[in-house]
Amino acid sequence: MNNKLTPNHSTIELSIAQERLRQGRYSFNLALTATTVSFFIGLVGAGLILSNKVPEGTVAAASGLASSVCCISLAKDANDRLDKVLAEINDSEK
């Protein structure tokens, strides 16, 4: 079998680690953007509540809070994946 056509184990691990890092960056950026948007939705909801438009304000504030919780969960998952990659790299170096 020709070794030039078969990537070695460390090359595959490096490719997987790079892909996880790329996904982690995208997840973080998405979470940051969505958290910012949900913050502004929450502000709009608070403004609607203060202007005595309680039903609209409640819906806006609740949706802002729900999307914020979702985004924080997404960012935590991305961070956990990056921690796992770091641990795998440290284990492979030993």
Contact 90, 60 (CB under 8 A): no
pLDDT at 86: 73
pLDDT at 65: 72
pLDDT per position as a tens digit, 67-76: 777 777 777 7
pLDDT at 9: 63
- Helices (runs of H) and strands (runs of E) counted in the chain: 2, 0
pLDDT at 27: 77
Residue ranges in the chain modelled with pLDDT below 50 = 1-3
Helix axes 9-50, 54-93, angle to 10 degrees: 160
Is the pTM higher than 0.75? The answer reads no
